Amino acid sequence: MKKDQVFEFFRRLAEANPAPETELEFGNTYQLLVAVTLSAQSTDVGVNKATRALFRAVQTPAQMLELGEEGLKAHIKTIGLFNSKAKNVIALSRILVERHGGEVPADRDALVELPGVGRKTANVVMNCAFGAETFAVDTHIFRVGNRTGLAKGKTPLAVEKQLEKKVPQPFRVGAHHWLILHGRYICKARTPECWHCPVIDLCAYKPKVLEKGARKAA
């Protein structure tokens, strides 16, 4: 995808959704970190259902430590891998209290040192909480980047590096939200809904699905 096409790609997505946001529910930066950590291999909808009651009771890492691992498990037992996630959330909460004064650091390197926090999670927190120009490449962004020709790469990191290189201002802060939402609701994994895609003419994907109810070409 050429430079002017990349600009037009994001211009159209921005026109349709001027203020994109994560679909995870949270009240502060710590809750965002917890929610993103819990969302690995889970849906935002499922995480939100589990965290609504949790976040009414827990707003800080100190409160999470008071709740304890078993108490946390009771809240998130509907989420996949809840045992290991609970262990990580308690561990990262302890580190935040002991090393960061109970605050979430606005630094990606410090974030990835926390248990259960990888580069993608750190990028989401940096972007959503601190307005950093980061690109959190999940399965949706990886698919959209490769399928459309916007940012091709064999690994999430490779796609991230392409996005860092190609995404222009003023779209850099919102880019990963637009791409996630586009992949979640239009450029779906099994059958992309090309018939109502706002960037269909910019997309390099050839077997487009142009009618609702049709199947993706083999």
Contact in structure between 164 and 135 (CB atoms under 8 Å): yes
Which has the closest alpha carbon to 23: 118, 115, 124?
124
Rg, C-alpha atoms of the chain: 19
CA 81 to chain CA centroid, Å, is 18
User: With the CA atoms of 104, 106, 108 and 112 taken in that order, what torsion angle do they form, in degrees rounded to the nearest 10?
Assistant: -10
Hey, which residues are catalytic here? 120, 138
128 is in an annotated binding site: no
In angstroms, the CA 134 to CA 48 distance is 23
Place of tokens 């990606």: 108
Residue 102: is it exposed, middle or buried by C-beta count within 10 angstroms (0-12/13-18/19+)? middle
In angstroms, the CA 177 to CA 174 distance is 5
In angstroms, the CA 122 to CA 210 distance is 37
Which has the closest alpha carbon to 37: 207, 11, 95?
95
- Binding site listing for [4Fe-4S] cluster: 187, 194, 197, 203
- Binding site listing: 187, 194, 197, 203
